[in-house]
Amino acid sequence: MTALSHSEKEAMMKDMKSFDETMPSVGIFWYDPEEHDFFGVYKKELTPKMIEDAADKGLPYINYQRLHRQIWKEHFFRAMAEHKPTKFKGDYTQVPRGRVSWNIDKFIVFVGAWAKDIEEELTELINKYFALPYFEFRYDEHWDLGHGWSGDL
């Protein structure tokens, strides 16, 4: 048996990756109303072990560990330092955003009132980016435009 060349190995790995099933994830996103798409999507695959560990600890939610404001600041300052254009400018609460969480036995997508008229579009995007088999929207004023954590206003 002859050894595979580097390019043959890369091609084989690419083929194997194409068979990978996208797994459901928890995470955060911003919605760009002009492009009708998400940006700043950060996510982590949800595993059965994570669910078991949360249940053992009595935790009702499993979330992506970083906050919108942390990621926004990171992107903003990097773009400024590199003198590059960015969508991450101004106040992060002025751009539609949301969070995908796991709660006991279901996925919940936290959004503000901005999402009510575009639920169908958001559902497609959430399925595309987070591969959720099922979920429910939960509307909360924290996710409304202009709202954030206490002290962020």
Q: Write the pLDDT tens digit of every residue in 66-104.
A: 999 999 999 999 999 999 999 999 999 999 999 999 998
pLDDT of residue 105: 86
Helix/strand/coil for 24: coil
Residue-level pLDDT at 19: 45
Cα dist from 111 to 4, 42, 81, 83, 88, whole Å: 49, 16, 31, 32, 19
Contact 29, 53 (CB under 8 A): no
Q: What share of the chain is helix, strand, coil (3-state, %, to 5)?
A: 40, 25, 35
Q: What integer pLDDT is reported at residue 9 of this predicted model? A: 58
Q: Indicate the Cα dihedral angle 138, 69, 63, 59, nearest 10°.
A: -90
What's the pLDDT score for residue 18?
46
Check residue 91 and give its pLDDT.
Answer: 93
Give the strand pairing for 97-103 and 61-62: antiparallel
Q: Which residues of the chain have pLDDT under 50?
A: 1, 16-19, 153
Query: Could you give the count of Cα atoms lying within 13 Å of 71 in the half-sphere of its Cβ?
Result: 17
- Cβ neighbours of residue 72 closer than 8 Å, sequence gap 6 or more: 40, 88, 92
